[in-house]
Amino acid sequence: MAVDMKRRLARGVAVIAIALGAGQLVQSMSGKAPAPRAAENQIDTKPKAIKRVAATDTAAVKPAPMVTLAAPAEAVPKPPVAASVTAPKAAETAPVAAQKPSLPEVATTPAAKAEAPLQAVAEACPVSLDLSAADNAMIAITLIAPCHANERVVLKHAGLTVTAKTTLTGALFADLPALEQNARVEVMFKDATLATAEIAVPDLAGMRRFAVQWQQDDAFQLHGFEDGSDFGGPGDVSAATPHQPIAGAPAKGGFMTLLGDATTDLPMLAQVYTYPETTTAKPEVVLEAAVTPATCGRELLGQTLQTSADAVKISDIALAMPECDAVGDYLVLKNLVPEMTIAAN
């Protein structure tokens, strides 16, 4: 009897246990888990950031804004600051690019700054020097220099140096006797700048030239006596009777060319005697200096220039003039080709 009661009691306990287990199984299959377990699972799976926020207020764990803080990094939108930084950079780049052409002016060296005004002046004041070969081995000079108007200039060629003066428009038209077949002419302005040009003068091969040059009051007079002539004779080629050939025609004999502008400051003057190389009767070249109140009692200085096949021969002259009681007399230098002697007249 006692045994039968024990078996019944054990069977009842087993039925209760099975019933409880079946109920749990039904709830699991329905997808409804007990609320306490669901709450415990949510807390365990929250990120640490949520736990820090929930430390002060557990109710703050559930709102949606807290969930956005725990979103992955790539899901978080980029801060608007990034756009505001790149936009100004793009805006600043455009003005800098537009200013690039002016940067070289800011970064110019002192030498570049000094060259810029000079270049501007050169462009505003062009100088043109043209040479052309004229009859009888002459060089025709055409100078255009607008910024050197009415100015004293110096013409140089093979040791020959004379002064000239530009017009009111800065032009100059002059003729120089060529002393070299490959002629080079320089024009020096008041500011010491130079204009140069070259030209070939093949006609010089059939001619000989003798010149004398001086400054200011140190005056000389050159004569070429042809056909046995003397002072004042028909064959006396001098400043008084230059025997200049007709324009456009070759010279039949010797002729004198007077060079230099005596109206300029410190004038530099010259006389050039030209005669044919092939003439059988060589002319006599004579140089004289007049005794005047401006030349008496002092020394005259000058130079002679003589052409040859090789080069121009240049010789200095230092002539001691008589005292002023000899005013009206002349000192004459004869036999200048090939040598000099002094004679008094």
Q: How far apart are CA 165 and CA 185, in angstroms?
A: 16
Q: Quick one: pLDDT at residue 45? A: 37
Residue keyed to tokens 């000058």: 302
Q: Which residue has the higher pLDDT, 193 or 102?
A: 193
Nearest CA to 201 out of 154, 131, 121 is that of 131
Residues 6+ apart with CB under 8 A from 330: 288, 289, 290, 291, 344, 345
The least confident of 87-101, 155-169, 209-223 is 87-101
Q: Percent of the chain having pLDDT more than 90?
A: 52
Q: How many CB atoms lie within 10 A of CB 120?
A: 10
Q: Which residue has the higher pLDDT, 79 or 254?
A: 254
Task: Beginning with the edge strand found earlier in the chain, give each strand of the sheet holding 194-200 in spatial order.
Answer: 160-165, 152-157, 182-188, 194-200
Q: Are 285 and 264 in contact (CB under 8 A)?
A: no
Q: Quick one: pLDDT at residue 136? A: 93
Q: Which residue has the higher pLDDT, 135 or 114?
A: 135
Nearest CA to 271 out of 183, 196, 160, 190 is that of 160
Q: Angle 258-259-260 (CA atoms, 0-180°, nearest 5)?
A: 135
Q: How far apart are CA 137 and CA 177, in angstroms?
A: 6
Q: Quick one: pLDDT at residue 278? A: 74
DSSP-assigned states of every residue in 281-317: SPPEEEEEEE--TTTTTSEEEEEEEE--SS--EEEEE
Instruction: Report DSSP state, residue 244.
Output: P
Q: How far apart are CA 265 and CA 273, in angstroms?
A: 25
Query: Tell me: the pLDDT tens digits for 94-128?
Result: 443 444 444 444 444 555 455 555 555 556 789 99
Model confidence at 8, pLDDT cuts 50, 70, 90, reads low
Query: Tell me: the pLDDT tens digits for 73-89?
Result: 444 444 443 333 334 44
